[in-house]
Chains A and B, each alone.
Chain A
Amino acid sequence: MHACKKSEHSHFLLVVIIILLANSLLFPGSAQTAIPGIEINYVNCDLNEGFYMLDAGMRVELSEESKKALVHGIPLRIDIEIKVIEKRKWLWDKTLLSRMIVFRLSYQPLTSYYIVTNISNGRRQQFSNLDDVLNYLGEIRDYKLVEFEQIPQDNHYTGLFRAKLNIQSLPTPLRPLAYISSQWHLSSPWYEWKFE
């Protein structure tokens, strides 16, 4: 009688495991969230009122480990690097300008808000959920890149854009493991566009 009960239990467990496995195989997207990382969707740079104004769209998705760290009070730093270079055939590329936009992302447990601070201009934004934060980070609007006069017009230039999670800014005990773990390597490759 007792043995029979035990056997029923094990059958039930087996069925559950099979269903879970089948579910995960048939609907792989449903079990997991979007792939962590940063992807650059577009970068536009237009001349407006004597300035080169930059718009960019990115998909920013944090890893589970970084999200966990964030809600545990560890601030994250997202660095956006913008460069304008002149490509040269025989020499190394010449960098005309280099800009960096730094966002600091933190969690406020008292209000349950996510705070995004633009270190470059000191502007603070708060969001009640992480998706809003990531959407906010993924949209760069009307960034004054450089004055028109500062760029010599006798040549063609290339713009470079990338965003990455700054591991160096993490607390020391976390850093060694962050260096070797893929969970913390959130960075986009260089995105190139024609700077005109």
Chain B
Amino acid sequence: MMKKGGQLIFFAGILLFLFMLSSLLMMSNALQTSSHFSEFYLGLLFFNTLGLLVLVVLISINLRRLIQQLQKRLAGARMTIRMVAMFTILSVTPVLIVYYFSLDFLIRGIDNWFDLRVEQALDDSLELSRLSLDRRMRDLLKKTEQAAEKIAGTTETSIPFDLDDLRVQTGAREITLLTRQGGIIASSTDDPTQLVPDRPNETIILQLQQGNSYVGLDTIRNTGLSIRVVANVPDTGIGEARIIQGLYSISERVNELANNVQNSFVKYKELAYLREQLKKSFVIVLTLVLLFSIFSTVWAAFYSARRLAEPVRNLAKGTLAVADGDYDTQLPVPSNDELGFLVASFNDMTRKIALAQEEASRSRNEAETQRSYLETVLSRLSSGVLVLDQDNIIRTANHSSAQVLGVPVKELIGHSISEVASSYTFLDKFDEMLTSKLRSSVTDWREQITITQANIRTTLMCSGTILPPSHNIQQGHVIVIDDITAVIQGQRNAAWSEMARRLAHEIKNPLTPIQLATERLRHKYLSLMNEDQTDQFDRLTNTIIQQVETMKDMVNSFTDFSRIPEINLQMSDINELISEVVDLYSNLNRDAEIITSFADNIPAIPVDKGRLRQVFNNLLKNALDACEKYNNFKLEISTQLLRKGKQKFVEVSIKDYGTGLPEDILNQVFEPYTTTKSKGTGLGLAIVKKIVEEHKGIVWIENNTAESGACAIVRLPVAEIYEVSPEKIS
């Protein structure tokens, strides 16, 4: 398909070609015959020159465009230039040869029209005519001079008659007597219709005045050639000086022949003179034809080459576009030939590539969607999931796995578990277990292990299975890790609670009768006994009563531990709460030095004040108890607001300088019946932990690193994510 502009140029070019061709034909015609075209010769010449200029401009534009394309290294430019050069050489060479020979033949042809012998013959015939007429003229001069002598003595009255006689005698057509100034005196003619005689011109009269006769061939009154003889009349002294003129006819045949000779001579002379001009004109026309042919051919060569190269250029452009990833490229199919087939095939190919690309893109999107779906699922899983490749390198690790293992995700992905364990030593056991499992041939396995990180024991349930080979992993493993610490703790707590409830129930019932019976026994029989028995009886019954009391306290503790929590939240100031507890203990133990350091920015948080007071009570009591051994009752209590990610916490730390805790029970200190004290029930810290967990907080105890003693830390969340129904917060 040609573009609109291209079509316009094409038709304009054809029109110009036709116009120039016809004008050249007219010019040629004008040169050959002086027909009607000769009037337009100059116009045609101008038009053709203009046409040539237009062609030159067209060619220049094309050439410039081509050079620019070549400089820009556009596809198809070299091919176009090669084709233009080829077309031009192929067409210009024969035209130039024809031009050379035509010019040669033309010039030779024109020169051949002229022959020296013909020219000489014409010169001779003209000379012959002149000589023949000269002889006659000399005779007539003599006759006229004789007539002049005769008339010299004639009187004025007889002049007309004498002139008639003289005319007849001399054979003149007309004879006239004039004054020397040219005034007519008398005339005689054989033509009665001729009223006014012919006068000699000024030059002749001047010649006569100088005393010379005149004889010449004149064309008189369009009657053909006549011989005019003018002679001075000899001066007789009578009257003024006169001249006589005789006009003699030449025979019609001589006249005709002389005219023919003269016309041929003139024609030949004219042709000889115009020969050079004619040659120049022919050369001009022929050169115009040559230039027209060459320029038309070159322009046509440009046009054809461009049209031929266009599909190739389009193909190159299309290929580049495809290489750049534009698969929607469709090229215009030029024609029904091989090039057209090639372009159609290209279009077909790009269409198919585009379809395939679209399919691939869709698949990629689907895979991406699948992947993000899986990622979302994995990130929302509370279980940690690790995917290991054949080299045991972690390829995938979800957020929960990082939480469970206590290692950031980026530290996990791309490393083997052994590498991770070398940085995080608490994972040694996990690494050992995993390595042994991965080495074994068991495809599905399940294992529970406990890891200790920063004095916190975490129980993990790991299960693994072999992954089927996929595109990027040949044989991998997927490992699911669950933190079952809370579950185990819950189970243990439930078991302890059940036992405590039963114990309380079973023990509390007989205790009151025992106490009452002992008090009655003491009341009834103490006064009846001997003095020596009294002391023993009193001591024994007291022991029973005290032990029963102790047992009651123990049973109450059991009851506290086992009862279902009924939490009553209130927005409270933790600093104030701790201050109350600290005041109580300051009063109870005067030796105690309790240093408090409360942060000002602690917000009010929803807590069960009574139960939290119990927590701090227990912790302070434990701390002071731990100080008894060194008798150094120094406590440091501080509060601070912590920020971990988006979550804020209120952290309370109670630091003592007492005995500290043995490392082996540090992890189990919050377990029921774990105690280092001789009098403790082992339930105090278990209850503390239970209450703190009821507040969604955490509690732990760590030994001081620099000095002796330990530090209990309670961390309670600030309300943002603390989901408490409004009615519960009074």
Contacts and interface: CB of A to CB of B under 8 A. Distances in A.
B203 A172 contact: no
A68 B269 CA distance: 11
Given A111-B217, A125-B201, A172 B261 contact: no
B278 A173 contact: yes
A11 interface: no
A177 B277 contact: yes
Nearest to A74: B270
B45 interface: yes
A115 interface: yes
Interface in B28-48: 30-31, 34, 38, 41-42, 45
A108 interface: yes
Contact of A110 (B34, B130, B272, B281): B130
B280 interface: yes
Contacts of B267: 73
B265 interface: yes
A29 interface: no
Contact of B34 (A128, A132, A171): A171
Interface string B250-269: 00000000100110011101
A171 to B, nearest CB: 6
A124 B221 CA distance: 8
**Chain A: interface size category:** 20 to 34
Of residues A124, A126, A177, which shows the largest number of chain B Cβ atoms within 10 Å of its Cβ?
A: A126
Nearest to A171: B274
B41 A175 contact: yes
Contacts of B130: 110
A111 B31 CA distance: 32
Interface residues of B, number: 35
A176 B203 CA distance: 38
Of residues A74, A109, A127, A128, which shows the largest number of chain B Cβ atoms within 10 Å of its Cβ?
A: A109
Contact of A126 (B38, B41, B218): B218
Contact of A173 (B218, B258, B281): B281
B281 A115 contact: no
A69 interface: yes
A68 B277 contact: no
A93 to B, nearest CB: 28
B272 A72 contact: yes
A110 B203 CA distance: 19
A65 B164 CA distance: 49
B559 interface: no
Contacts of A110: 126, 129-130, 133, 217, 225, 258, 261-262, 265
A19 interface: no
Contacts of A148: none
A73 B266 contact: yes
Given A108-B262, A110-B258, A74 B31 contact: no
Nearest to B259: A110
Contacts of B272: 72
Nearest to A129: B203
Nearest to B220: A124
A42 interface: no
A151 interface: no
A40 to B, nearest CB: 23
B527 interface: no
B269 A73 contact: yes
Nearest to B39: A168
B270 A72 contact: yes
A172 B34 contact: yes
Interface in B532-549: none
Contacts of B273: 68-69, 72-74
A81 B526 CA distance: 180
Nearest to A127: B203
A174 interface: yes
A175 B270 contact: no
A72 to B, nearest CB: 4
Interface in B200-224: 201, 203, 216-219, 222
B284 interface: yes
Contacts of A74: 270, 273-274
Nearest to B262: A110
Contacts of A175: 38, 41-42
B274 A173 contact: yes
Given A72-B273, A110-B129, A175-B41, A126 B219 contact: yes
Contacts of B261: 110
Interface of A: 68-69, 72-74, 108-111, 113, 115, 124-128, 132, 171-177, 179
23 contacts: A68-B273, A73-B266, A73-B273, A74-B270, A109-B262, A109-B266, A110-B130, A110-B133, A110-B225, A110-B261, A110-B262, A110-B265, A111-B217, A124-B219, A126-B201, A126-B219, A172-B34, A173-B31, A173-B278, A174-B274, A175-B38, A175-B42, A176-B284
Interface of B: 30-31, 34, 38, 41-42, 45, 126, 129-130, 133, 201, 203, 216-219, 222, 225, 258, 261-262, 265-267, 269-270, 272-274, 277-278, 280-281, 284
Given A72-B270, A110-B265, A176-B45, 13 more contacts: A73-B266, A74-B273, A109-B126, A110-B126, A110-B217, A115-B219, A126-B219, A127-B203, A171-B34, A172-B41, A173-B274, A173-B277, A173-B281
Q: Which 5 A-B pairs have the closest CB atoms?
A: A72-B273, A73-B266, A73-B270, A172-B38, A173-B278
